Amino acid sequence: MTHIAGGCGAIIDSLNTREQNMKHDAWLVLLHAFLSVSELLTLKERFGEIEAIARQTEQSLRNAGLPENKARAVASPDRKAIDATQLWLDNADHHIVVYGSDAYPEMLTQLAGAPLALFVNGDIDALHLPCLAIVGSRNPTRGGVRNAVDFSRHLSRSGYAIVSGLAQGIDTAAHRGALDANGKTIAFLGHGIDRVYPAQNYDLAHQIAATGALVSEYPLGAPPDKWHFPERNRLISGLSLGTLVVEAARRSGSLITARLAAEQGREVFALPGSIHNPLARGCHELIRQGAKLVETAADIHAELAPLAGHMQQNLTESTDNGSSIPAGDDDYSALRKLLSHDPTSIDELKKHSGLTIGELSSMLLILELHGEVESLSGGRYALIA
């Protein structure tokens, strides 16, 4: 059975079976009561551990300040919904990551109103990579689709996980570009993780889950209500170092995502277009408001590389207990021997190194930030003289 990552960094699988089951159940009770992070922290101060909160009476919870509907949901939990979620967790690729755990992405902890938990289908490690959001129109031009694929493919090969919302149009193109590059892509959903919307992206959703991650803050069975999508947009921008808007009309959900990114202190990028293209007007408006005009993926990489390098360094230090790499690492040493001053494709490096595209992308990004490697067009890399 997969784990729910527990508060204070505990991994529930490290407990014995009885303790594990009790804590799993308590977490599921609280999640299905739709508690916020602040409400949970208040209750923990009063009652202590998660299991103790789940045992309280409705009146006790109301006395602690919990709203009536949430207090009732904790005291009289929806067992059918909880059992369905527990069954979903029996799949080895299904996870629930809760706020306060080591598995919860640090980028999201910085948000006001961060979700108490994330339902994840796929690779939870993808949530800790340097991310770039790519969003835009659901009805783009052919040029917009081509740009979204090209930017996604190039930046994925540079070590970024591509984040979007699985919608038709630019979102779909962004996810496909990352998959084409054998990179990581993350889709935030505006509904329960047990469903796919739109239905046309059913196969795409399964491809994303196989190598990246599908993520939702909503419990299983939650419908794709229209207000869920603006809510999930804050997570698309919040997980990402920057947001690229490819094509958007002046009144567009993509502009909401861009505004949220700016409010969250993230970078905002926009592609310019023809003055005769209505889908360029939203991007032009963003540029007038201070978004960075970009023409190539290298423009974005130049802006985000220092931030991405800082994230990778922190991740490496936490993984390796503070040891410094890449200098003394065997994989990096082997990779340096495969590189030369002549451009080498990442596919060739994969063939001869035995590493995955994702591993290579992250390592090449680190080497680039150290000034040892340069990234060239077509997913090729060369040593710097």
Res 131 pLDDT > 90: yes
Res 64 pLDDT > 50: yes
- Tell whether domain 324-383 is in CATH 3.40.50.300: no
Specify the 3-state DSSP secondary structure of 134.
Answer: strand
Average pLDDT, stretch 143-161?
A: 94
Pick the CATH number of 124-299 from 3.30.390.10, 3.40.50.450, 3.30.160.270, 3.20.80.10: 3.40.50.450
Q: What percent of the chain has pLDDT over 90?
A: 65
383 DSSP β-pair partners: 373
Contacts of residue 337, Cβ cutoff 8 Å, sequence gap at least 6: none
Question: CA 339: distance to chain centroid?
Answer: 31
Beta strand residue intervals within the chain, DSSP E: 4-5, 94-98, 117-122, 131-135, 161-164, 185-188, 213-216, 242-245, 267-270, 292-293, 344-345, 373-376, 380-383
Contact yes or no for 363/332 (Cβ under 8 A): yes
- pLDDT in the model for residue 352: 87
Q: 309-357, pLDDT tens digit by residue?
A: 766 655 555 444 433 344 445 778 888 889 988 888 877 888 888 887 6
- pLDDT in the model for residue 319: 45
Give the alpha-carbon dihedral of 46, 50, 54, 57, to 10 degrees: -10
Q: What percent of the chain has pLDDT over 70?
A: 86
Q: 227-242, pLDDT tens digit by residue?
A: 899 899 999 999 999 9
* Least confident residue range of 51-60, 84-93, 131-140, 362-371: 362-371
Distances from the Cα of 279 to the Cαs of 197, 250, 273, 380, in angstroms?
23, 8, 8, 32
pLDDT band at 12 (very low <50, low <70, confident <90, very high): very low
- The domain limits of the chain are 4-104, 124-299, 324-383
Contacts of residue 351, Cβ cutoff 8 Å, sequence gap at least 6: none
Contacts of residue 15, Cβ cutoff 8 Å, sequence gap at least 6: 23
